Chains A and B, each alone.
Chain A
Amino acid sequence: MSALGLYGRDIAELLAQQGARRQPMKGFDDIYVDIIDYIIRCTHRIWEEKDIGLIATHYSQDCPIHLMSGDVAGVEGVIAGTLKTLNSFPDRTLVGEAVIWSGNEVVGYHSSHRITSHATHQGDGEFGPATGRSVCFTTIADCLCFENRIVEEWLVRDNAKIARDLGTSAKALGQAQAKVLSAAHSGIADWRAKAMDEVLCQEVPEFSTPSFPDPAQDPEEFAHLVFQQIWNLRRLSRVREVYAPHAHWAGPDARLLFGHGEITGWIGALVSMSKGARIRVDHVGSVTEGPFTDIAVRWSFAGTHDSTGLYGPPSGAPLYILAISHWRTLAGVIVEETTIFDEIALWHQISGGA
């Protein structure tokens, strides 16, 4: 028994009665038949049906939620955050584009849920006073789910795209946040220093030229080698081994890239802003969707902004990026990628924020 994927399934089918349980799910509510159903259905119930109180039975009491702007913890915080977001964007729709899962009922299911949302900025909130503008943005939520509850979550949202849709920019909002919460007096936040240490303490991989495995056969090794070879060893030429020549790439602030040259250019521009930057793969999951193998990779980037790159001239700021990439692979190579991280949080760091 296994979960039924999203391939070819419409929302009406996904939200219809699903019949018998398809996957062992000890402790999960009877309504859920597999982990994909749990993720899609509870997202709909909480966010679109507005059953916010359901969070109390779907998050553990002390659930940590890791964001690029810092951690929050606890079910009360999740409820408050959901209400605040819905106050700003009450008509938010959350279209599930992918649920890439791993694990089991014993150790917990890990899901990586990519959502693209449409909403109207109708209420005041974290993005300022209501503007009435429409926004469209992508979020990826990695959740560790155990006995009906999310017990840990890593959340990345394309906040830069929201900012742009609202008529401002990630840079402007990040700079404004940095003025309020500056690192000038007491240094950067402890959580950020700790997260950076954990990434930077990795040993530098030795130069080697391993072959990339077929991602359909060994997605975990494939993902680790991509980040070891291309990112940590700066072997950008190997982009041409792992991406199709006509690969599509979508990233923060709805940046769209196409083909080897542009993807190489983006990776190069990102790592060029920090000479000693290290990247660590934190989690890999994969599923088969029709002819494709979809892979979710959560990764962290740490370094010092000591060089000109994608985000302007060097600021000397310590940098930490929490990112999630979704790869669609076919015939041994990546044909589509979505990578999301919070560029407002990054501009906050670059601008001297704590």
Chain B
Amino acid sequence: MTLAEMLSELYVNEDVGAFERLYLHRAIRRCRGELIFGRDAIRQLALADLAQFSGWRFQINASTEGFADVEWLSPDNLSVRRHYWTKLENGRISADTVITRAPNQEPMRCHHQPLGELDSGKGQVGPADLVGFSVTAQSLHRIWNSRSVSTFRDLYDGNAHWSGPSLEGGVTELKNWWLAQFLAFPQSHIIFERELSFENNLALLWHWARIDTTGHRDRIAGSTCLRLDGGKIIQDVTLTD
């Protein structure tokens, strides 16, 4: 069963009983800075989804083994978008990371002050090159971590569409949003965790550690699904926790 079929089983057919064969009993979910332990606890979250999105339309925008970009659309055009990143053991999900963009989402709770430095061991010479990821991910690393604003021009098609954590638009809006983040978080560093390439898409899971101008530090998870054409990004969907 593909991830798209799994999610359809849950959210189109509303077959919550399918959890028994979709998830291992000891499955772990990472979401909003916390770990949710066990299939029963994850099933509770799915039930909460079904209650919240009753009457909404569920659609899968992109998916492959290990990743799905899905969306719930309300009758009055509200959208809740979610990225699933899954790990399987013998065909069942043993762990997933879920990142959701929803209107009026409450800020994440953080019980512990983050420790250590944002970019480990680099001091004044960071950031280092990104190893083990695609050329596209390396370009995003240059923009996000080295503030290489000019790279936007090379990486994105001029007519690219961007759907970000709090705004959407074209390349200008995308660039302006990131510029605002660089100013709001003078210290920030993004660490890439996973990358999946499928058809003309590239999906990236990452973690963003940052310190704002008041000294407040946090770390959020983010996920980006890109559509590429001729080596340029023509669509960028970026969600953060």
Contact flags B199-221 to A (C-beta < 8 A → 1, else 0): 00000000101000000000100
Q: In whole angstroms, what is the CA distance A256 to B34 when docked?
A: 8
Instruction: Report whether A261 and B37 are in contact in the complex, using a CB–CB cutoff of 8 Å.
Output: no
Chain B residues with CB under 8 Å of A257's CB are 115-116
Chain B residues with CB under 8 Å of A260's CB are 120-121
Q: In whole angstroms, what is the CA distance A248 to B121 when docked?
A: 18
Task: Give, as a whole number of angstroms, the nearest-CB distance from B125 to chain A.
Answer: 14
A116-B37 contact in complex given A8-B90, A164-B111, A261-B209, C-beta closer than 8 Å: yes
Q: In whole angstroms, what is the CA distance A256 to B33 when docked?
A: 8
Contact flags B112-154 to A (C-beta < 8 A → 1, else 0): 1011111111000000000000000000000000000000000
Instruction: Report whether B117 and A264 are in contact in the complex, using a CB–CB cutoff of 8 Å.
Output: yes
Q: Is B60 in the interface zone, CB < 8 Å from A?
A: no
User: Chain B contact residues (Cβ within 8 angstroms of A): what range?
Assistant: 35 or more
Q: Of B92, B112, B121, B219, which contacts A237 at CB under 8 A?
A: B121
Q: Is B38 in the interface zone, CB < 8 Å from A?
A: yes
Instruction: Report whether B37 and A262 are in contact in the complex, using a CB–CB cutoff of 8 Å.
Output: no
Q: Is A224 in the interface zone, CB < 8 Å from B?
A: no
Q: In whole angstroms, what is the CA distance A245 to B127 when docked?
A: 13
Q: In whole angstroms, what is the CA distance A268 to B207 when docked?
A: 22
Q: Is B5 in the interface zone, CB < 8 Å from A?
A: no
Which residues 157-209 of A have a CB within 8 angstroms of B? 164
Instruction: Report whether A95 and B25 are in contact in the complex, using a CB–CB cutoff of 8 Å.
Output: yes
Instruction: Report whether B115 and A136 are in contact in the complex, using a CB–CB cutoff of 8 Å.
Output: no
Contact flags A8-34 to B (C-beta < 8 A → 1, else 0): 111110000000000000000000000
Q: Is A239 in the interface zone, CB < 8 Å from B?
A: yes
Instruction: Report whether B120 and A269 are in contact in the complex, using a CB–CB cutoff of 8 Å.
Output: no
Chain B residues with CB under 8 Å of A256's CB are 33-35, 112
Q: Would you list 17 pairs from A and B whose C-beta atoms are within 8 A, ordered by A residue?
A: A6-B26, A8-B90, A8-B91, A93-B40, A116-B37, A118-B40, A245-B191, A246-B191, A246-B194, A259-B207, A261-B118, A261-B119, A261-B189, A262-B114, A264-B116, A264-B121, A265-B114
Known: A253-B111, A261-B118. 8 other contacts (CB 8 A): A95-B38, A245-B191, A246-B193, A248-B30, A256-B34, A259-B191, A261-B116, A265-B115
